[in-house]
Amino acid sequence: MAEPHRARLERDRADLTTRVLTLQHSFDEMVAASRDSNADDEHDPEGATIAFERAQLVAVLKQATADLDELDAAVRRVDEGTYGACDRCGLPIAPARLEARPAARRCIGCAALG
């Protein structure tokens, strides 16, 4: 029963790892490009500043990294035999919720409580 869950989590983890690496590469390139340039984009009326774009990229990278941490925790729960049980009330998490959010830690009722 745990193997289908593990396989899905591992696939999602591989995809997300690739995304994190791509985002990190993009960030590194952006930093290198701005370091080698003396452009003053803060006063560019044509569009977003490099600082704004960098902040957006950092936010997306942070979220992707947090999502990866959640997938790692879900894999550990599979190994421990607790995957699919709510960490607050202990009741089973609905299969539809796990399908939509494979790393879910809580059932819908407990998630709504915060």
Give me the DSSP letters along 49-61: -HHHHHHHHHHHH
Beta bridge pairs of residue 92: 85
* CB contact at 8 A, 9 and 103: yes
Alpha carbon of residue 23 to chain centroid: 12
| Cα–Cα distance for residue pair 50/30, rounded to 1 Å | 8
* CB contact at 8 A, 104 and 87: no
Beta bridge pairs of residue 85: 92
pLDDT digits (tens, 9 = 90+) for 4-32: 899 999 999 999 999 999 999 999 998 88
Averaged pLDDT, 26-41: 75
% residues pLDDT > 70 (the chain): 87
% residues pLDDT > 90 (the chain): 72
| Cα–Cα distance for residue pair 106/86, rounded to 1 Å | 4
pTM for this structure?
0.79
Would the pLDDT of 50 be above 70? yes
Model confidence band, residue 42 (pLDDT cutoffs 50, 70, 90): low
- Better pLDDT: 106 or 48: 106
Averaged pLDDT, 75-95: 96
Averaged pLDDT, 26-50: 71
